Amino acid sequence: MDDMTEQTRQVTEEGLREALRAVTDPEIGMNVIELGLIRGVEMSEDRVHLNVIMTTPFCPYAPQLLEQIRRTAQEYAGVPSTIEMGMEMWDPTMMEEGAADDWGLF
């Protein structure tokens, strides 16, 4: 029981966001954290819930990308994970600071 409690304390939002850097948008070639697609994180002892947006409403990779995000979150946290598709429209200002430099946007 102590091992599980110790493991639970180590699961953090910061750690989850770091784990999600492994999930890359195949069209853009940048990870979901750099792109600012993770708009909200709710973590509890028994679940993780993420609010996620896509760069475009008709993203052809959305189903695969959402599942990869969900699976990565679940593997990191060790508890069931759910995804809520946010309705917020993405724009380049949501990108992590410095991430847009490669695109020459800012």
CATH number for the domain that contains residue 89: 3.30.300.130
Strand order from edge to edge, sheet including 38-44: 38-44, 47-52, 81-85
Digit-coded pLDDT (tens) for 37-80: 999 999 999 999 999 999 998 889 999 999 999 999 999 999 99
For 21-35, what is each residue's pLDDT tens digit? 999 999 889 999 999
Number of domains in the chain: 1
- 103 within some domain: no
Over 60: is that where the pLDDT of 4 sits?
no
The answer to the question of residue 55 being in a domain is yes
Residue 89 covered by a domain? yes
Residue 101 lies in a domain: no
What is the reported pLDDT for 99? 77
CA angle 14, 18, 21 (to 5 degrees): 145
Query: Where in the sequence is the domain holding 90, given as residue range(s)?
Result: 2-95
Q: Is residue 105 part of a domain?
A: no
